[in-house]
């Protein structure tokens, strides 16, 4: 088939080659980010980091960190408040502003693009600047901006992407893909126009990635985006897993935890692991399986580092705790917080497997959620439980505190979402747990439910929300940044989110496009 000029352009884009019209150095966001790093350095020489790891807790706002910290401590038998998650022990902190150029409250595609390219952009797009309208594939090439992972590959560093979502989801895709629509994970999800023009879907862009010698490690879910029907979701008949294997004769592929564990990663040159057809399981379900069929985030991080730490020139790795976000969207704090604790475990693995003297570790979030911690629960009160304390700042009692309608309430709630009064559980298995719960409309008429501690601490309980939505939304407040290692001192103050890219690039010696 003869390719039209636009097909040729997109084929080149998919392979990562050719000149791109967008000059990031001329972008105001890019220039401002560089200037912010210079101010943060205060004239001092920025220490060189041989390697860097960016941990992204998807949706991990400050309330999530606090609640997860307490939950982890309580699961260990302590009161919880005095506990610290692993990354909270890193020596430097900052705050990042997460708005996108078109939305006050951002989302994962626009925010990971800021983190990975140094420019702020629109919500819903990946690896392109704000000149590209969402969904306009014709603008993608000229709006494309290089990612930190691409630049690391071009400089000879080894690279990796680890996630608990599909590896083509917004955050992991932001490391390697350039597309005006985050949802184009496989070809069947493209618009007819984009498909006719030969625009590469995100899974194709991953397999056809041509910077450096290719990404060394990719681990996560989303196998269906790489395979044709009936096993997969692709409509073009291509088996991208087989294509990846042909491209990388030195690579090893795993589709289960057992296969990943069996791999001798200390001698493998590169790894591709696709462990589930869609997103990987929540940690609560994964860990409960006997034995688990999927690896944990910390296990994937450990295996990735077994490969990447052998790089003579250093490496760049992005690790995402992607299902923190999914738990929050479901209004399910227990699952979101359990994901955050496992995310912290993955950071512990990285700290153990790397040297503080040559590896910069940065932990942040792409955006927040509407989780709140409120009431006046007494010290050590179960973070997932009913408030036992007081209605004011006086002495704490021993029984749950009631609201003005005479009903108890929980410490954790959401500002909006599916946990509208009377609809505290919408999981498919919820009916067998809470068959007495009315529908949302009935609940609104009846008022708040008469909650019990057993109910609210059940894994399938959804925290109450005063605004009824099918899915809880993101929150718009600043998110934390924690850092340790060479260059970590750059992280202080309140920064635009694209600052993270510039600080990482400066520490790795990749400051010039």
SS3 sequence, 209-269? CCCCCCCCEEEEECHHHHCECCCCCECCCCCHHHHHHHHCCCEEEECCHHHHHHCCCCCCC
| Residue 224 annotated in active site | no
Q: 3-state class of 457 per DSSP?
A: coil
* Active-site entry in 108, 144, 224, 338: 108
Handedness of CA 371, 349, 271, 269 (dihedral sign): positive
H or E segment and range at residue 50: none
CB 279 within 8 A of CB 165: yes
How far apart (Å, rounded) are the C-alpha atoms in residues 199 and 138? 9
Residues 6+ apart with CB under 8 A from 491: 40, 92, 93, 94, 362, 481, 482, 483, 503
How far apart (Å, rounded) are the C-alpha atoms in residues 149 and 172? 11
C-alpha distances (whole Å) from 218 to each of 29, 205, 206, 215, 345 are 29, 13, 9, 7, 19
Beta-carbon count within 10 A of 2 CB: 5
Q: 3-state class of 368 per DSSP?
A: strand
Catalytic machinery residues: 108
């Amino acid at each position: 088939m003869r390719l039209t000029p636009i097909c040729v352009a997109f084929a080149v884009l998919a392979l990562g080659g050719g000149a791109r019209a967008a000059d990031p150095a001329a972008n105001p966001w890019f220039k401002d980010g560089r200037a912010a790093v210079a101010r943060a350095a205060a004239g001092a020489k920025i220490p060189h980091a041989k390697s860097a790891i960016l941990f992204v807790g998807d949706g991990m706002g400050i309330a999530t960190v606090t609640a997860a910290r307490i939950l982890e401590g309580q699961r260990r038998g302590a009161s919880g408040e005095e506990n610290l998650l692993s990354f909270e022990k890193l020596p430097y902190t900052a705050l990042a502003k997460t708005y996108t150029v078109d939305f006050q409250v951002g989302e994962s595609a626009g925010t990971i693009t800021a983190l990975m390219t140094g420019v702020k952009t629109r919500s819903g797009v990946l690896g392109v600047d704000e000149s590209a309208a969402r969904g306009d594939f014709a603008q993608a090439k000229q709006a494309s901006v290089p990612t930190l992972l691409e630049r690391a590959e071009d400089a000879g560093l080894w690279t990796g992407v680890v996630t608990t979502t599909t590896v083509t989801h917004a955050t992991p895709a932001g490391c390697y893909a350039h597309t005006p629509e985050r949802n184009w994970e496989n070809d069947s999800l493209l618009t007819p126009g984009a498909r006719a023009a030969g625009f590469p879907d995100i899974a194709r862009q991953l397999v056809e990635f041509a910077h450096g010698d290719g990404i060394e490690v990719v681990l996560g879910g989303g196998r269906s985006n790489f395979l044709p029907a009936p096993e997969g979701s692709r409509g073009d008949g291509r088996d991208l897993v087989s294509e990846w294997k042909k491209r990388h004769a030195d690579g090893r592929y795993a589709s289960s935890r057992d296969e990943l564990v069996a791999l001798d990663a200390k001698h493998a040159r590169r790894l591709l692991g696709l462990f589930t057809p869609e997103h990987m399981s929540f940690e609560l379900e994964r860990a409960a399986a006997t034995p688990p069929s999927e690896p944990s985030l910390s296990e994937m991080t450990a295996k990735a580092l077994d490969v990447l730490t052998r790089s003579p020139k250093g490496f760049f790795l992005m690790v995402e705790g992607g299902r923190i976000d999914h738990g929050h969207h479901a209004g399910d704090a227990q699952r979101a917080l359990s994901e955050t604790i496992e995310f912290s475990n993955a950071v512990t693995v990285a700290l153990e497997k790397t040297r503080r003297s040559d590896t910069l570790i940065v932990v942040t979030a792409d955006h927040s959620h509407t989780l709140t911690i409120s009431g006046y629960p007494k010290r050590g009160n179960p973070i997932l439980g009913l408030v036992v304390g007081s209605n004011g700042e006086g002495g704490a009692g021993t029984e749950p505190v009631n609201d003005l309608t005479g009903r108890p309430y929980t410490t954790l709630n959401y500002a909006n979402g599916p946990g509208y009064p009377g609809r505290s559980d919408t999981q498919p298995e919820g009916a067998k747990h809470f068959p007495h719960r009315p529908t949302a409309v009935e609940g609104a008429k009846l008022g708040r439910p008469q909650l019990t501690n057993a109910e609210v601490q059940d894994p399938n309980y959804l925290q109450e929300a005063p605004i009824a939505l099918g899915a809880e939304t993101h929150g718009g407040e600043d998110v934390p940044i924690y850092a340790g290692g060479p260059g970590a001192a750059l992280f202080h103050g309140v920064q635009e989110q694209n600052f993270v890219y510039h600080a990482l690039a400066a520490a790795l010696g990749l400051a010039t496009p």
